[in-house]
Each structure stands twice: as structure tokens, then as C-alpha cells.
């Protein structure tokens, strides 16, 4: 039979349903489901997926401790040699769940885990140091390629074989440093790299540096009594009942809502969709997240020019950088078209 494998997937790939079933509680089924069929074909006789654990993305991210306890118990009952989670591609909540499950399996069961996701997935940044993670395309269109890389690595992990470098094995760098012996000392290697750089030749650094996004601040407002101000928030303030179903974590959308004729928020007209913090006080008075009441008072007193009739909102909790930039670009274009001069940006 080869090594034993347990596969973790979400409700969509488990064939349960889409977003309408995202609150699906953890379930363990025998054999393979969804992408597990492709994995099993690649594993062949060297490994067998004995069971699949399925959990809804929303349920997991809104009940992390409870979900992890249940899932870890399900996996421990199978006593696998390796666990495969996903792949999650660019699905944020799914990626976070795969990473969290993987980390818990490694720490509590001492069983190796391999997953796969797009490098912009928040789960990748949060958990690539804890588990082996193959970099995938940003959508399931890259499923075949992802599985072809995940399966061989899972076999090596399950068999207890030595794992090579990220470049050799195809997983994301985990920040692990190992001492190695080189023919040339560091100073000479550094000078050689510098000469190649000066000559415009190709070279590969031994220590990649992080790339930081630098944004020049806008010029300050000269006279706040004459400007049109808009409210934007990553704290998840939404109308009552969250009509657009903005996710509590790893948001895939933002909302635009009218505040025309409104002077303040109360429990009947607003709440927060944000996960990761206690929402009680925000739900009691959403002005604590989005200060509509104060700005209306300032507007009536002539302390600000006017307040834009719409506010824009999303959830920052685990939301990918790529989605955040996309939201910001669209919101900024809308604000400029509406003649907005300044923005008050709030969070949690």
C-alpha cells in the first residue's frame, strides 16, 4: 500500500457546495474526494489516501479552536505518514485553513504536511515557515501542475527521506538556514557577484532581500472646511445583516453603501463583518468603527466641507495584498470621479 495519506480540503472541493455551504462542519470520509483523485493517480502504489477531511471555509475561520480540535482528532485516528492540505490556490480563507491545519498537525501529531497555494494567498505568508508549501497558480486552472509537485514531495516526507532545497524540491522558502561548505569563502563570492552585477551579467544572490512597497504620501489638505470627505474602512462596517456577505476573513470583495440622510449608526442599521476581534462594541454602535456621528456634527458646524454620500468597506483580516490593491484601485477611481478631496480610513 505504501505510505498512508490524509487529505484536507474545503466544502467546495469536497463536493458539498459553494459559498452557501461554507459553514459546513468538519467531516471525515473514507478514500478520495475532489482533487484527491488526481493526487492518488500520481501517488500510485507508493502512497494511498486513506481518508479525506472536509471543512467549510467560513466555519473553520469563525471557529478556529473548535475546528482544529475536531480535525486533529480525525487525522490522529488515521495515523497517517503525511498530510496533504489543499491546494488552495488564491482562495484566502481556504489557504488560511490549510496552513492552520498543517501547523497544528506538525506541532501536535509530529506528522509532516505539504500544501500548495498562490504566493499572494495570506495563508502562504502566515504558514510557509511551518509546513512545506508548493507555489501554485492563482486559480484551479493550475491544478494539474500543483498536484504534480505536491505528490512527489508528500511521498518523500511520508517516507522520511531527506528534503532538499526549495529550488530543488519546488516548495516556498521557509526561512530555514543551514550551514554548508563552499569551495570559496564568502568575501570572494561576494566580490564575484558584485563584478557580475557591474558587468550586467546574470547572477543569483545568496541572500534575497524583501521588497517593500513604498507609497509617497499625498499633499496635506489646506483647508478642511472646504473639502469633501469620504469614509473608507477595513474594519468591516456593513449594513445590518451584511447584505453582500463580505467574508469575516480573507475578503474577496468590498462594499459601497449609502449614508445619505443618516446621522449615526445603531444596532438596527449597522454591524461589523470582521472576524478576529470581539465585535460586541462595534455592533452596539458602529460609529466606533466608522465615525459617522462625529463627522455629521462637524459637517453641520462647518468644520468640514461635506461628507460623501457613500462609504466603502472591506475586511482586512487575512485579506491578500493583491485583493487589497485591487479594492483600493477601484475605490480610489470611484472617489475621484465623485470629486472627493480626502479620505478618513479606519480599521479595527
Q: Are strands 47-55 and 3-10 parallel, antiparallel or unpaired?
A: parallel
Q: Which run of H or E residues covers position 151?
A: helix 143-159
**3-state secondary structure (DSSP) of residue 278:** coil
CB-neighbour burial class of residue 227 (10 A; exposed 0-12, middle 13-18, buried 19+): middle
C-alpha cell at 280: 460586541
Quick one: DSSP state of residue 107? I
CATH of 3-169, picked from 2.40.70.10, 2.40.50.140, 3.30.420.40, 3.40.50.2000, is 3.40.50.2000
Q: Which run of H or E residues covers position 198?
A: helix 186-198
> Residue-wise pLDDT tens for the chain (348 aa)?
689 999 999 999 999 998 889 899 999 999 999 999 999 999 999 999 999 999 999 899 889 999 999 999 999 999 999 999 999 998 888 999 999 999 999 999 999 999 999 988 889 988 999 999 999 998 899 999 999 999 999 999 999 999 988 888 889 988 877 788 888 998 999 999 999 999 999 888 887 777 777 888 889 999 999 999 999 999 999 999 999 999 888 788 999 999 999 999 999 999 999 987 788 999 999 999 999 999 999 999 999 999 999 999 999 887 878 788 899 999 999 999 999 999 999 998
What are the residues facing 233 on neighbouring strands? 313, 346
Give the predicted TM-score (pTM) of the model. Answer: 0.71
* Extents of the domains making up the chain: 3-169, 224-346
Amino acid at each position: 500500500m505504501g505510505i498512508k495519506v490524509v487529505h484536507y480540503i474545503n466544502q467546495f472541493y469536497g463536493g458539498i457546495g459553494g459559498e452557501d455551504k461554507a459553514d459546513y462542519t468538519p467531516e471525515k470520509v473514507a478514500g478520495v474526494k475532489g482533487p484527491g483523485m488526481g493526487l492518488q493517480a500520481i501517488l500510485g502504489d507508493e502512497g494511498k489516501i486513506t481518508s479525506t477531511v472536509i471543512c467549510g471555509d467560513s466555519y473553520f475561520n469563525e471557529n478556529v479552536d473548535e475546528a482544529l480540535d475536531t480535525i486533529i482528532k480525525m487525522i490522529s485516528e488515521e495515523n497517517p505518514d503525511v498530510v496533504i492540505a489543499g491546494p488552495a490556490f488564491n482562495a484566502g480563507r481556504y489557504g488560511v485553513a490549510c496552513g492552520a491545519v498543517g501547523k497544528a498537525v506538525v506541532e501536535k501529531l509530529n506528522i509532516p504536511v505539504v500544501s500548495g497555494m498562490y504566493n499572494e494567498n495570506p495563508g502562504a505568508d502566515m504558514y510557509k515557515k511551518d509546513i512545506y508549501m508548493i507555489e501554485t497558480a492563482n486559480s484551479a486552472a493550475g491544478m494539474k501542475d500543483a498536484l504534480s509537485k505536491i505528490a512527489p514531495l508528500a511521498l518523500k516526507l511520508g517516507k522520511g527521506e531527506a528534503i532538499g532545497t526549495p529550488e530543488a524540491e519546488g516548495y516556498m522558502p521557509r526561512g530555514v538556514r543551514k550551514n554548508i561548505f563552499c569551495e570559496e569563502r564568502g568575501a570572494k563570492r561576494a566580490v564575484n557577484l558584485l563584478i557580475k552585477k557591474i558587468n550586467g551579467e546574470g547572477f543569483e544572490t545568496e541572500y534575497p532581500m524583501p521588497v517593500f512597497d513604498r507609497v509617497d504620501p499625498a499633499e496635506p489638505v489646506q483647508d478642511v472646511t472646504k473639502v469633501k470627505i469620504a469614509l473608507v474602512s477595513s474594519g468591516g462596517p456593513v449594513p445590518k445583516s451584511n447584505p453582500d456577505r463580505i467574508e469575516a476573513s480573507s475578503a474577496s470583495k468590498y462594499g459601497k453603501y449609502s449614508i445619505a440622510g443618516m446621522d449615526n449608526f445603531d444596532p438596527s442599521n449597522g454591524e461589523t463583518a470582521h472576524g478576529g476581534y470581539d465585535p460586541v462594541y462595534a455592533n452596539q454602535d458602529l460609529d466606533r468603527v466608522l465615525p459617522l456621528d462625529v463627522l455629521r456634527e462637524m459637517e453641520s458646524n462647518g468644520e468640514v466641507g461635506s461628507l460623501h454620500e457613500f462609504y466603502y468597506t472591506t475586511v482586512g483580516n487575512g485579506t491578500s495584498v493583491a485583493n487589497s490593491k485591487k479594492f483600493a484601485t477601484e475605490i480610489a477611481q470611484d472617489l475621484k470621479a465623485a470629486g472627493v478631496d480626502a479620505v478618513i480610513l479606519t480599521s479595527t
